[in-house]
Structure formats: structure tokens, C-alpha cells
């Protein structure tokens, strides 16, 4: 006889599981932030993580920004053409890139790279008892492993997004001047004329938040993985998926609540 | 009676419904070398991890020099852990840093030794486990299984800790190298006054390094006594184990075909 699962019990179980997860994540977050602000600091690890998050993500982030900027210009050209407002293309491209697409797309790309790498690395360290070994060598794994990663991502994402903003706008410019026959100087002039500092700054603040989220998820999933190679694989997938969803959710929340002007 | 260096009192640990340690008692005196034998999966590694706080025991107390340690936190715990050296069964080498940095890890991070001194120190300890200084420049992934074990041993003893845990130090080594390692453990205890707790399946190694041998079965130490008495323990479980007989009171859960 097969038993039909009771949906209410399932919902209850899922809710309890979810709450337990939220609780665990909150504890993890508190310990991570505590580790960021309390010595000893491991500068070698910090530097290595900043390099890995910042420098090595440049090609990926740069390329996506270039294509995103170009396609944005193309679409806005079509859209604004419907009411003879093609002259607004540069302004809207800058607006869209700096406030939304720059931070969001760069963070999603970096989540795919960095969250996954963090989860896989820490997960392997967990299942091969390297994290236990670290503890027995009287070294706090939160200070040695987690803090440098989260700090690196939080600091480097704004920098990456600033570069990605520039490349994105240049992508739009490239397409507009080569394919759409815009005047080169005029396009750049219009891009800057209507740009406000806040457009860029709000995007960079978002980037910092997203960097924090994507590294937190990578570290959390990796640090708590169990069950051999399969467990590490699961941790990696969970890290990327949860980081991506949280980034998009946080983007909505931040944009609609904080950055309303 | 003198106070034991390390004392486990009624330690219990279960995973889900599976009871691994069931009220385990064990006393180890300062400067003593105790070997624990026992079947695979009986909880020997779990016992060590409970002492080190890597696993939280469900019940029971653990004392080091009379001080209860299971509830230590933060800096107190780190200070206590500095007194321990642990060789993990699987080595647990940090594979993102080179071998010599692995060996010198405790010296650099916990004792704040200078990099250059630490390197020299690491080379000396590597030599003790039969590895040349060129091995120090390799990454752990480039080592053979036996080399990994020896590097892990070198890392465990590098800071000269008072209490040493060796989880199967000779498994996977050739007999000659195994004996070198046994000698090294004996030397640590005899010459440096360390207290050692070794887990092994290798009876030759047990006889060589142990002052006392104990057997873990059913979550408890069912027999413990001087190494010389192991042959005439009068305990059928111990007899079956040291003679490696399939027949006896210990039933292996294997399917008979
Ligand atoms: N983290 C864990 N989660 C769940 N079960 C565990 C965990 N660690 C150990 N166990 C279980 O506890 C039991 C004892 O494991 P332990 O590693 O201590 O065995 P052991 O005596 O060291 O064996 P071996 O000689 O093979 O190393 C095993 O049945 C194992 O499945
Ligand atoms: Mg074991």
C-alpha cells in the first residue's frame, strides 16, 4: 500500500526546515561579521581572495557588460523610435546600466564564478576534515577562511561594477556609432549630460550588498556541506542558486524601499 | 592517585538513532602512551573528535589536568587546543598551501614564528619523518599516500604539544617506515614527556608504542591494561581482535553467502 503524503504535514515540515535554515544562516552571518571585525586578520588570505574575486572576474564581467550595453542600445533605439525620441538612447542606456543592469548582471555572473568556487573549496575542506584540522591548530576558521572571502567580495564588487558600468556604456556607444549612425562625440555628450552621481553611486552600493550576499551563500553552503563529493556538488549548486535568487530579491527590496529617488 | 592528564567520564555520542559512544570512561596519565584498538566504525575517531571539541558529546565530561573542557568557548578553547596535536586519519592536509607551510602552520599562526625560522623548523621535522627538504616545496596533491601521512604526523608534532592524538599513524605505510613512525612516537613520549593517545589496527605498532592498550567495543572501553598483558587479557573480545579471528563474540555484520 502506498501512503498518500499529507499535504499539511509536508507544508509544516517544509516550514520548520526553512525556519531552521534561516536560523542557521543568521548564526553563520553573525559569526562571519564578527570575524571580519576581530583580529587576528589574515592579510595573505585577504589579498588572495581580492585577487580571485576582483581581478579574475574582470574578463567575464567585462564581456557581459559589453554585450548588455550594446543590446540595450539596440532595443531602446527601436523602442524610442516608435515616438521619435531616438535622441534619448544614450541617456536611457546610462540610466539602465548604472542603476540596474550593471550591478545585477555583474553580480549574477560573479555569483556563478565566485559563489561556486567558494562553496566547492570550503566544501572540499569540510569533507576532507581540513576545517577540523584548522580548528585543532587553534585557528578560527571564520577568521581564516570566511572573513577574507566575504570582505573581498563586498569590497571588490563595487569596483567591478564601476568598470562594468563604463564598459557597458561603451558597448552602447559602440553599437550606436557603428550600426545606428549616431555621432560619436554627441552620443558621449548626451550620455554625460543627464547622468546623475546618484545613478552610479546607488548601483555601487547595490554591488557591495550583492557581493556580500554571493560570498555569504558560497561560504555558508560550502562550510556546512557534508557527504563526500556528492555533498560538495550539492553545496555548489545550492550556493549559486540561492545567491542568484537572493541577489534578485535584494535588488527589488533595495530599489523599491531605499533607492526610490 | 595522581591526577590524570586526560580523563573522559561517561562520554556519550550518538548520530541520529545510532549510538556510537555509550558512557565511555578513559584515564590517561601524564607522560603515558595509550593505544586504543577496536573494530572499524566502533567510534575511535569520534572519541578523539569529542575531546577536541570537533564533535559535541551528548553527555559526559572531559577533563584535561582536572579542568572540564567540553564547555570551553572562543579564546579559552583555542588556548586549550594549543596543548594538543592531532594526526587525522585521512591526513587533512591543507591542499591550498605547500607542504612546509602545512607543517609550520601551528608555528606561524599560533606561535607567531617568523617565516624563515618556521621553514627551517619545518625542514627539521620533515627530516624526522624521513622526508627531505625538497618535499617541503611540493603541494600536498603531489604526495603519495604514505608521504601524506608522514607530513600530517609532522604537522601534529611540530609545536611540541603536551598531548598527542594519532589516528592510525602507520596505516598505509611500508613496515620499515611504520617502524620509523613508531620510534618517533615513542621518542616524543619518552624524551619529550608528551602524553599520547594512539589509535591503530596494527598490533605490532600497538605493542611497540603502548604503555597500556585499551579496546573500544560497544561504545565503551571494555578492557584496558598494560601492553604486555594483552595476550592474556582473559577477555574474549580482545582475544578475537588481536588474533584477527572471524569467529568469536564480535560479529561482523557481513552477509554470509
Ligand atoms: N559526522 C558524522 N555523522 C554521522 N555519523 C558519523 C559521523 N562521524 C562518524 N559517524 C559514525 O560513527 C561511527 C564511528 O565512526 P568512527 O569514524 O569513529 O569509526 P572508527 O572507529 O574510527 O573506525 P575506523 O577504524 O574505520 O576509522 C560510524 O558508524 C560512523 O558512521
Ligand atoms: Mg577512524
Q: Which of B20, B24, B53 to mutate to test the pocket of ligand 1 (most atoms within 8 A of CB)?
A: B20
Whether A92 contacts A80, CB under 8 Å = yes
Q: Does B92 touch chain A (CB under 8 A)?
A: yes
pTM of the model: 0.90
Side-by-side strand order, sheet with B59-64? B18-28, B6-15, B59-64, B67-68
**Residue B49: what are its φ and ψ, rounded to 5°?**
-65, -30
Q: Do A133 and B88 touch (CB under 8 A)?
A: yes
B57 within a domain of the structure (yes/no):
yes
A202 within a domain of the structure (yes/no):
yes
Q: What is the SS3 assignment for B84?
A: strand
B92 within a domain of the structure (yes/no):
yes
The model's pLDDT over A208-224, given as tens digits with 9 standing for 90+, comes to 999 999 999 999 999 99
Of B79, B81, B96, the CB nearest to A136: B81
- Judged against a pLDDT cut of 70, whether residue B254 lies above it is answered with no
CATH number at residue B86: 3.40.50.300
Give the Cα separation of A186 and A88 in Å (integer).
12
pLDDT tier for residue B251 given thresholds of 50, 70 and 90: confident
B253 within a domain of the structure (yes/no):
no
The model's pLDDT over A47-79, given as tens digits with 9 standing for 90+, comes to 999 999 999 999 999 999 999 999 999 999 999
Per the structure block, which three cell numbers stand in for A199?
A: 545613478
Determine the structural domain holding residue A73 and report its residue range.
42-256
B239 within a domain of the structure (yes/no):
yes
The residue whose CA is least distant from atom 24 of ligand 1 is: B40
ipTM of the complex: 0.92
Whether A195 contacts A97, CB under 8 Å = no
Whether B131 contacts B151, CB under 8 Å = yes
Residues 70-129 of chain A with CB under 8 A from chain B are: 121, 124-125, 128-129
Side-by-side strand order, sheet with B220-226? B84-87, B163-167, B195-199, B33-37, B212-217, B220-226
Determine the structural domain holding residue B17 and report its residue range.
6-243
Residues of B in contact with A123 (CB under 8 A): none
B256 within a domain of the structure (yes/no):
no
A60 within a domain of the structure (yes/no):
yes
Residues of A in contact with B85 (CB under 8 A): 136
For B217, the enclosing helix (H) or strand (E) is: strand B212-217
Q: How close does chain B come to A14, measured CA to CA in Å?
A: 20
Q: Do A138 and B109 touch (CB under 8 A)?
A: yes
A29 within a domain of the structure (yes/no):
no
Q: Do B90 and A134 touch (CB under 8 A)?
A: no
How large is the average pLDDT for residues B18-24? 94
Q: How close does chain A come to B74, measured CA to CA in Å?
A: 9
Give the Cα separation of B249 and A176 in Å (integer).
84
How large is the average pLDDT for residues B116-132? 92
pLDDT tier for residue A170 given thresholds of 50, 70 and 90: very high
B186 within a domain of the structure (yes/no):
yes
B250 within a domain of the structure (yes/no):
no
How many domains are there within chain B? 1
The model's pLDDT over B49-89, given as tens digits with 9 standing for 90+, comes to 999 999 999 999 999 999 999 998 888 999 999 999 999 99
Does residue B50 line the site of ligand 1, with CB under 6 A? Answer: no
Whether B233 contacts B239, CB under 8 Å = yes
B23 within a domain of the structure (yes/no):
yes
Q: How close does chain B come to A126, measured CA to CA in Å?
A: 10
Give the Cα separation of A249 and A253 in Å (integer).
6
Residues 217-256 of chain B with CB under 8 A from chain A are: none
Ligand 1 atom with the shortest distance to the CA of B38: 21
Position A2 scores a pLDDT of 60
- Residue owning grid cell 599520547: B196
Give the Cα separation of B135 and B157 in Å (integer).
17
- Closest alpha carbon within chain A to B93: A130
How many domains are there within chain A? 1
The model's pLDDT over B134-187, given as tens digits with 9 standing for 90+, comes to 999 999 999 988 899 999 999 999 999 999 999 999 988 889 889 988 988 898
**A-B C-beta contacts closer than 8 Å:** 54
Amino acid at each position: 500500500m502506498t501512503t498518500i503524503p499529507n499535504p499539511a504535514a509536508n507544508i509544516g515540515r517544509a516550514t520548520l526546515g526553512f525556519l531552521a535554515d534561516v536560523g542557521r544562516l543568521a548564526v553563520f552571518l553573525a559569526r562571519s561579521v564578527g570575524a571580519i571585525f576581530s583580529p587576528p586578520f589574515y592579510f595573505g588570505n585577504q589579498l588572495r581572495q581580492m585577487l580571485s574575486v576582483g581581478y579574475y572576474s574582470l574578463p567575464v564581467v567585462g564581456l557581459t557588460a559589453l554585450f548588455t550595453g550594446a543590446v540595450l542600445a539596440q532595443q531602446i533605439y527601436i523602442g524610442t523610435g516608435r515616438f521619435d525620441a531616438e535622441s534619448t538612447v544614450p541617456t536611457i542606456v546610462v540610466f539602465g546600466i548604472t542603476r540596474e543592469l550593471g550591478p545585477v548582471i555583474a553580480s549574477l555572473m560573479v555569483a556563478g564564478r565566485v559563489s561556486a568556487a567558494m562553496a566547492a573549496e570550503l566544501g572540499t575542506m569540510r569533507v576532507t576534515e581540513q576545517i577540523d584540522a584548522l580548528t585543532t591548530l587553534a585557528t578560527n576558521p571564520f577568521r581564516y577562511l570566511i572573513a577574507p572571502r566575504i570582505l573581498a567580495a563586498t569590497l571588490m564588487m563595487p569596483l567591478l561594477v564601476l568598470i562594468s558600468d563604463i564598459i557597458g556604456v561603451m558597448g552602447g556607444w559602440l553599437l550606436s556609432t557603428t550600426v545606428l549612425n549616431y555621432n560619436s562625440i554627441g552620443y558621449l555628450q548626451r550620455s554625460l549630460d543627464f547622468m546623475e552621481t546618484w545613478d552610479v553611486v546607488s548601483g555601487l552600493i547595490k554591488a557591495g550588498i550583492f557581493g556580500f550576499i554571493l560570498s555569504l551563500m558560497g561560504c555558508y553552503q560550502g562550510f556546512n556541506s557534508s557527504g563526500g563529493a556528492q555533498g560538495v556538488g550539492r553545496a555548489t549548486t545550492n550556493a549559486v542558486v540561492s545567491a542568484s535568487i537572493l541577489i534578485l530579491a535584494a535588488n527589488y527590496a533595495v530599489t523599491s524601499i531605499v533607492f526610490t529617488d | 592517585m595522581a591526577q590524570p592528564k586526560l580523563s573522559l567520564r561517561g562520554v556519550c555520542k550518538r548520530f541520529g538513532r545510532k549510538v556510537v559512544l555509550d558512557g565511555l570512561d578513559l584515564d590517561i596519565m601524564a607522560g603515558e602512551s595509550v593505544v586504543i584498538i577496536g573494530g572499524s566504525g566502533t567510534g575511535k575517531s569520534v572519541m578523539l573528535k569529542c575531546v577536541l571539541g570537533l564533535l559535541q558529546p551528548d553527555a559526559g565530561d572531559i577533563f584535561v589536568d582536572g579542568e572540564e573542557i567540553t564547555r570551553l568557548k572562543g579564546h579559552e578553547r583555542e588556548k586549550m587546543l594549543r596543548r594538543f596535536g592531532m594526526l587525522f586519519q585521512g591526513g587533512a592536509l591543507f591542499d591550498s598551501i605547500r607542504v612546509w607551510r602545512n607543517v609550520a602552520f601551528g608555528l606561524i599562526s599560533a606561535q607567531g614564528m617568523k617565516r624563515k625560522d618556521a621553514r627551517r623548523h619545518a625542514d627539521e621535522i620533515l627530516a624526522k619523518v624521513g622526508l627531505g627538504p625538497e618535499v617541503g616545496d611540493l603541494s600536498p596533491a603531489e604526495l603519495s599516500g604514505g608521504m601524506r601521512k608522514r607530513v600530517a604526523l609532522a604537522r601534529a608534532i611540530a609545536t611540541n604539544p603536551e598531548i598527542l592524538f594519532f589516528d592510525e599513524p602507520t596505516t598505509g605505510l611500508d613496515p620499515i617506515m611504520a617502524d620509523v613512525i613508531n620510534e618517533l612516537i615513542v621518542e616524543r613520549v619518552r624524551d619529550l614527556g608528551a602524553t599520547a593517545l594512539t589509535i591503530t589496527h596494527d598490533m605490532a605498532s600497538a605493542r611497540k608504542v603502548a604503555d597500556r592498550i585499551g579496546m573500544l567495543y560497544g561504545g565503551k572501553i571494555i578492557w584496558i591494561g598494560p601492553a604486555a598483558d594483552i595476550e592474556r587479557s582473559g577477555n574474549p573480545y580482545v582475544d578475537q581482535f588481536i588474533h584477527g579471528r572471524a569467529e568469536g563474540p564480535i560479529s561482523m555484520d557481513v552477509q554470509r553467502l
